[in-house]
């Protein structure tokens, strides 16, 4: 089963994303900020296939997390999708330059998220 990590300081958003990802066939892990995300990856292993990352979080924000993930050679295949309320084109460009694979704006739907995963070729239901 493919592993996914949901990183958001909002418990409600983590619950929503967990439900969607579980329906798509992912084993889902959660973190409330970037530092917790790094600790979670250390605990569960670097074979995580997908990280859905919020931008605005305490302790370590999403952009800093993306940069940290991209500096880890064991995570080169990790697909990172920013899921955020940051709508400015400059923010989107910064996220992509830092190494995010895709960008989803809140509010989102299950279909939007599924389409992004399809575009990345990592929807477990499609690849079965």
Helix (H, G, I), strand (E, B) or coil at 120: helix
pLDDT band at 46 (very low <50, low <70, confident <90, very high): confident
pTM of the predicted model as reported, rounded to 2 decimal places:
0.91
Q: Which residue has the tokens 């690849």?
A: 127
Once rounded to an integer, what is the mean pLDDT over residues 46-61? 93
> Helices H, strands E: what count in the chain?
5, 5
Q: How far is CA 79 from the centre of its chain?
A: 7
The answer on pLDDT for 128 being more than 60 is no
Domains of the chain: 3-120 (3.40.50.2300)
Nearest to 43 by CA among 59, 22, 29, 64: 29
Bridge-based pairing state of the strands 3-7 and 102-105 = unpaired
CB contact burial 91-109 (16+ within 10 A = b; e otherwise): bbebbeebbbbbbbeeebe
Q: Is the pLDDT of residue 21 over 90?
A: yes
Range scoring the smallest mean pLDDT among 16-20, 35-39, 101-105, 120-124: 120-124
């Amino acid at each position: 089963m493919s592993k996914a990590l949901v990183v958001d300081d909002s418990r409600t958003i983590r619950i929503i994303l967990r439900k969607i990802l579980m329906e798509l066939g992912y084993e889902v892990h959660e973190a409330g900020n970037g530092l917790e995300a790094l600790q979670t990856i250390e605990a569960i292993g670097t074979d995580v296939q997908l990280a859905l990352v919020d931008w605005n979080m305490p302790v370590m924000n999403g952009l800093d997390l993306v940069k940290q993930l991209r500096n880890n050679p064991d995570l080169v295949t990790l697909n990172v999708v920013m899921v955020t309320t940051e709508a400015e084109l400059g923010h989107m460009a910064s996220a992509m330059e830092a190494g995010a694979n895709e960008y989803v704006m809140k509010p989102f739907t299950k279909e939007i998220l599924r389409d992004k995963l399809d575009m990345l070729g990592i929807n477990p239901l499609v690849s079965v």
